[in-house]
């Protein structure tokens, strides 16, 4: 990103950009710190020439300084998941061939040892800041800018590389589609190694000249207190967070609930993404706050691709229509385009928002494109002009008795059962059916579930071939850092 991209990040801009729990920083202050950091990064050179620089930082002034500093200096930013196990970090750092890594002062010994063993310099932002800003390179938009690791729910995480141009397209599409302005104020509590936090919240906010409140993690009492005080007018979260907010409000007194719900009601926009939003949750949130959640669809490789409209009908259970500048088509298994409504196919995407490559993995990059279309691996169907996601072809599409079933759809129905708190549906190998619909459930307050009774309940709500053949109770579902259920790990649990 050149200086000209985030045009609010300028020398004299006294508007507040970032708010942490201890301080506020203006656009001018943040800008000057980024320049001084970029200068220190470059040292005696004139350009980082796509050096991979990793950072292991919570949402903070340091994080923003690092991200933009690496961009301005001509490096590739590699933000890491601060909840990662050290063994996972080793995969990221070695496959990206990282040379320097930034963390808070007093980083854990394990991290020091790992960096030492890989020959990576472990630094703090303060150690690199110069007193004065020096000359910074002009950056070509086609250059590599960032590497994010896919959530790896189905395979070893791959380093997804975006250029400056890709990132600009991902941001500007959303600025227009969701009507961002400099009057917006948004909390950021989602992990910052993932597209949702980095692009949709932090980058859109700073691009628009808005105000971003930084949280080290999800702190529901603090977030709801600020919501009740009408601090925010935009809110973006994953479905799990909305579920937790509802559960939290169920335990508060009436006055508190009214204040928080009024705070949400006054906002201009509430968005849900990163995992499917069950219809039941959509309706609960609307009943509670009057907010009609805007659900959208995106992934690490494309940023956002499809979205319900900002103005117009937001439909529960659907992700809406292609965003401006993004081409979307459905294709069958024979790579033939699917026309007409109601016919499921794989979502494929074209546009400036699409990533450049998987780092050091030409084969995976080549396999993920067909005739210039990026193959998302997600199945969808168009109904009344709106896309409905059926799920990942590898884990959510169950091929049972000749039918292609959507695990997400079955999960959505099961969640309306009064005793079911959480559910994940997979296809388990079955001699008769090919794959048998298998549901893993977490019940409310440890309630029992009688299979025969559940089957009767399902009979009234779904076709017989969609009803789970096996139901297994668990204490909790396995999830990754973004709160997505890691379905492959369920395949090994005996039912």
Query: Which phi and psi (to 5°) does residue 265 adopt?
Result: -60, -35
pLDDT, residue 170, reads 98
- Identify which has the larger pLDDT, 157 or 441: 441
Question: Residue 370: which H helix or E strand, with range?
Answer: strand 369-370
Residue 154: pLDDT band with limits 50, 70, 90: low
242 plus 353 within the same structural domain: yes
422 plus 276 within the same structural domain: no
pLDDT, residue 404, reads 83
- Answer yes or no: is 5 within a domain: no
Output the CA–CA distances (angstroms, integers) from residue 471 to 30, 89, 96, 495, in the order listed: 53, 35, 41, 7
425 plus 379 within the same structural domain: no
370 plus 271 within the same structural domain: yes
Distance of alpha carbon 405 from alpha carbon 423, whole angstroms: 16
* Model confidence at 3: pLDDT above 70: no
483 plus 409 within the same structural domain: yes
- Answer yes or no: is 475 within a domain: yes
Mean pLDDT of the chain: 94
Q: Give the model confidence (pLDDT) of 89-111 as tens digits.
A: 998 999 999 999 999 999 889 99
Q: How many residues does the chain have?
A: 495
Q: Is 267 left (phi over 0), alpha (psi -120 to 50) or beta?
A: beta
* Model confidence at 33: pLDDT above 60: yes
Which domain range does residue 429 map to? 397-490
Summarize the confidence of residues 107-126 as an average pLDDT: 95
Which has the minimum average pLDDT: 31-40, 94-103, 199-208, 453-462?
453-462
- Answer yes or no: is 206 within a domain: yes
CATH of the domain at 326: 3.40.50.12780
- Answer yes or no: is 179 within a domain: no
289 plus 226 within the same structural domain: yes
Q: DSSP label at 336?
A: P
> Are 78 and 53 a contacting pair, CB within 8 Å?
yes
Q: pTM of this prediction?
A: 0.90
Q: Give the model confidence (pLDDT) of 326-385 as tens digits.
A: 999 999 989 999 999 999 999 999 999 999 999 999 999 999 999 999 999 999 999 999
* Model confidence at 397: pLDDT above 70: yes
Which has the minimum average pLDDT: 144-158, 221-235, 240-254, 309-323?
144-158
416 plus 387 within the same structural domain: no
* Model confidence at 480: pLDDT above 90: no
Summarize the confidence of residues 433-446 as an average pLDDT: 92
CB neighbour list of residue 378: distance below 8 Å, 6 or more residues apart? 297, 299, 346, 347, 389, 390, 391, 392, 393
* Model confidence at 87: pLDDT above 80: no
CATH of the domain at 429: 3.30.300.30
pLDDT, residue 1, reads 59
Find how far residue 165's CA is from the centre of its chain.
20
pLDDT, residue 15, reads 98
* Model confidence at 492: pLDDT above 70: yes
Residue 152: pLDDT band with limits 50, 70, 90: low
> Are 353 and 325 a contacting pair, CB within 8 Å?
yes
- Answer yes or no: is 374 within a domain: yes
Q: Give the model confidence (pLDDT) of 251-278 as tens digits.
A: 999 999 999 999 999 999 999 998 889 9
Question: Residue 65: which H helix or E strand, with range?
Answer: helix 61-73
> In the chain, how many domains are there?
2
């Amino acid at each position: 990103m050149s200086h000209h991209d985030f045009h609010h990040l300028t020398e004299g801009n006294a508007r507040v950009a970032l708010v942490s729990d201890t301080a506020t920083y203006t656009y001018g202050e943040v800008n000057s710190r980024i320049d001084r950091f970029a200068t220190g990064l470059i040292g005696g050179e004139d350009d980082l020439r796509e050096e991979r620089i990793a950072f292991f930082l919570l949402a903070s002034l340091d994080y923003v300084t690092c991200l933009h500093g690496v961009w301005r200096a001509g490096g590739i930013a590699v933000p890491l998941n601060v909840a990662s196990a050290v063994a996972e970090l080793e995969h990221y750092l070695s496959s990206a061939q990282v040379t320097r890594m930034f963390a808070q002062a007093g980083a854990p010994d394990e991290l020091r040892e790992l960096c030492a063993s890989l020959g990576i310099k472990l630094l703090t932002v303060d150690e690199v800041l110069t007193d004065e800003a020096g000359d910074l390179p002009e950056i070509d938009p086609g250059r590599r800018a960032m590497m994010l690791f896919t959530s790896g729910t189905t395979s070893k995480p791959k380093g997804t590389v975006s250029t400056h141009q890709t990132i600009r397209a991902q941001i500007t599409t959303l600025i227009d589609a969701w009507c961002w302005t400099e009057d917006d104020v948004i909390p950021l509590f989602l992990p910052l190694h993932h597209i949702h936090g980095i692009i949709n919240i932090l980058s859109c906010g700073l691009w628009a000249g808005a105000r971003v409140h930084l949280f080290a993690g999800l702190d529901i009492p603090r977030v709801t207190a600020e919501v009740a005080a009408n601090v925010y007018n935009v809110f973006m979260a994953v479905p799990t967070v909305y579920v937790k907010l509802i559960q939290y409000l169920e335990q508060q007194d009436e006055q508190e609930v009214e204040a928080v719900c009024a705070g949400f009601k006054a906002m201009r926009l509430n968005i849900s993404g990163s995992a499917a939003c069950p219809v039941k949750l959509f309706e609960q949130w609307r009943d509670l706050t009057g907010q009609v959640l805007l659900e959208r669809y995106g992934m690490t490789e494309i940023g956002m691709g499809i979205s319900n409209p900002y103005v117009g009908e937001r439909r529960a259970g659907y992700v809406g229509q292609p965003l401006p500048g993004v081409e979307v088509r459905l294709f069958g298994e024979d790579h033939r385009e699917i026309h007409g409504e109601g016919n499921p196919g794989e979502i494929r995407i074209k546009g400036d928002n699409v990533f450049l490559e998987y780092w050091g993995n030409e084969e995976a990059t080549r396999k993920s494109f067909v005739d210039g279309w990026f193959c998302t691996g997600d199945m969808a169907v168009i109904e009344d002009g709106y896309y409905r996601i059926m799920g990942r072809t590898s884990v959510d599409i169950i091929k049972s008795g000749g039918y292609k079933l959507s695990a997400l759809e079955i999960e959505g129905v099961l969640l309306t059962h009064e005793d079911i708190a959480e559910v994940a549906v997979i296809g388990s190998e079955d001699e008769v059916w090919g794959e048998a619909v298998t549901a893993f459930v977490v019940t409310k307050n440890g309630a029992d579930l009688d299979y025969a009774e559940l089957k009767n309940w399902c009979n009234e709500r779904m076709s017989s071939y969609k009803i789970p053949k096996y139901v297994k109770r668990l204490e909790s579902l396995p999830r990754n850092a973004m709160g997505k259920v890691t379905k492959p790990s369920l395949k090994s649990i005996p039912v």
